[in-house]
Amino acid sequence: MKLPHICLIEDDPIMGESLSDRFSLEGFTLDWYRRGGEAIDALRCTQYAAVISDVRLPDVTGEEVFSVANQSIAMTPPFVFITAFASVESAVAMLKRGAADYITKPFDITELVTKVRDLVGVSAQAVDLGNTALGTSPSMRTLAGGCPRIAERARTVLITGESGVGKEVVAEFLHSLATLQAPAAFVAVNCGAIPDALLEDAFFGHERGAFTGADRLKKGHLEQADGGTLFLDEIGDLPLGMQVKLLRVIQERKVRRIGSEKSIPVDIRVYCATNRDLTAMAREGQFRDDLYYRINVVHLKVPALRDRPEDVLWLAHKFLEEQAGLLGESPRLLTLGAQSALLAHTWPGNVRELRNKIERACVLSPAVALTAADLFESEEIESTAGAQEMPSLEAFVADAERTYIASVLRRLDGRIGAAAAALKISRKTLWEKMKRYGMRGADQEFH
């Protein structure tokens, strides 16, 4: 279904481009005007479903555009105003005169998209909830289901969430989808781990002889990611000076090595991640507004592990299989007590903490079936003992089914046809169960 036609009035090129990209990504038809006068002419001859307008414009104010529209257009579309904090009174006054809503800078573009969707009566497009690439919980299935469209269309993505939730995993998933036809580099950079004095050299590289000790040419992270993806973890830790230079690269898609007068074009996707509140940082002057809007075209929020308990056992089995591959052994099992302890834990360290506990238990314990004592320190078990609940019957049966399928597949060297026959189910049913449980080989081995 084609979504409604909307009008954007915004003179700031970065803000305008970011909003244009995001609404186009969402499927809207959007006309972007830099001046209020141009927009007034367009409003007189085009029936828009909604208008998004900055309050301050270079020729007339957003308030004047709204007034002219009310006086000269038979059916005035709903107006949503973008305003700085100092202009909120003006925006409120326009609400009293019939404007639909306003949003103050800095803002999350997703919030604006939601406001416009509500105004024009269009819900967010449905996604494939059967995708379990990132987890089996509804939130992670929804997140994964929307990734193919984002990977195909978005050049910049902001991924947020607490430390350890798996932001880099989401970035890698997007990258894998974007490079299915032509594999390319995925360059991950922890912005908080590079000393300020070395940032420019790390990102842009240098020519031989550019400074003392530069005895050879060095390509920086931006150039290394050419044709692929640059993942900037902890983007909020970049100093303001480097933020300016990064914004210029994202806008111009060119880099210049230290000591060179030549700009080199780069074709990169930029995925950024942070556990900090960039909106608040931008409001306080700690993060540049223009860079925030440029990287926030698409914003993916990864929920904490405690908010998606359905993923705990799924991830635990995934990590058990990873460790089995690394240690050259069959995957360990989890006792019912271990499962109960995993589900009762609050996971302050999120997925990273879960991975570490599984890895430690596999290295230190000789047991085939890991217990709660193998996974947790005694004080951790004691602290959650009162809160522990037995897994539901549904969860226990699903885990038993998954474990049995995995053992049959291992015994039959991963042959799906033979495993389906042994289990007395069809190949299609087995494949669907493998996909539901996130078992490796489900997509590759079923034909």
pLDDT band at 274 (very low <50, low <70, confident <90, very high): very high
pLDDT at 3 over 70: no
Please tell me the predicted confidence (pLDDT) of residue 447.
33
Least confident of 112-121, 198-207, 380-389: 380-389
pLDDT band at 125 (very low <50, low <70, confident <90, very high): low
pLDDT band at 384 (very low <50, low <70, confident <90, very high): low
pLDDT at 129 over 80: no
- Closest Cα to residue 293, out of 162, 190, 158? 158
Complete DSSP assignment for 103-164: EESS--HHHHHHHHHHHHT-PPPP--TT--SS-SSHHHHHHHHHHHHHHHH-SEEEEE-STT
Above pLDDT 70, what percent of the chain? 91
* CA separation, residue 245 to residues 123, 199, 254 (Å): 38, 11, 11
What's the predicted TM-score (pTM) here?
0.75
Q: Residues of 226-263 as b/e, b for ≥16 C-beta within 10 angstroms?
A: bebbbbbbbbbbbeeebbebbbebbeebebbbbeeeee
Please tell me the predicted confidence (pLDDT) of residue 296.
94
pLDDT at 380 over 80: no
Please tell me the predicted confidence (pLDDT) of residue 52.
97
Strands (E), 193-303: 205-206, 218-219, 229-233, 254-255, 264-265, 269-274, 299-301
Please tell me the predicted confidence (pLDDT) of residue 34.
96
pLDDT at 127 over 50: no
pLDDT at 392 over 80: no
Tens digits of residue pLDDT in 405-439: 877 887 777 788 888 888 989 888 888 888 777 77
Six-digit token string for 405: 């399928």
Tens digits of residue pLDDT in 221-266: 999 999 999 999 999 999 999 999 999 999 999 999 999 999 999 9
CA angle 201, 206, 208 (to 5 degrees): 145
Least confident of 160-164, 179-183, 237-241: 179-183
Tens digits of residue pLDDT in 353-376: 999 999 999 999 998 889 999 999
| Average pLDDT score over the chain | 88
Residue 290's identity, in one-letter code, is D
Please tell me the predicted confidence (pLDDT) of residue 271.
98
- Closest Cα to residue 313, out of 360, 348, 351, 368? 351
pLDDT at 390 over 70: no
Least confident of 74-83, 112-121, 331-340, 376-385: 376-385
As a dihedral over the C-alpha atoms of residue 23, residue 24, residue 29, residue 32, rounded to 10 degrees, the angle is 70
Measure the CA–CA gap between 120 and 24, rounded to whole angstroms: 16
pLDDT at 442 over 60: no
pLDDT at 9 over 80: yes
pLDDT band at 182 (very low <50, low <70, confident <90, very high): confident
Q: Which range among 274-278, 340-344, 365-369, 383-387 has the greatest average pLDDT?
A: 274-278
Residue matched to tokens 């990273």: 352
Please tell me the predicted confidence (pLDDT) of residue 1.
46
Measure the CA–CA gap between 289 and 273, rounded to whole angstroms: 16
Please tell me the predicted confidence (pLDDT) of residue 383.
59
Please tell me the predicted confidence (pLDDT) of residue 443.
42
pLDDT at 4 over 50: yes
Looking at per-residue confidence, does 86 or 32 come out higher? 32
What is the distance of C-alpha 318 from the center of its chain? 21
All domains of the chain in start order, with CATH: 5-120 (3.40.50.2300), 138-301 (3.40.50.300), 306-445 (1.10.8.60)
Tens digits of residue pLDDT in 283-330: 999 999 999 999 999 999 999 999 999 899 989 999 998 998 899 888
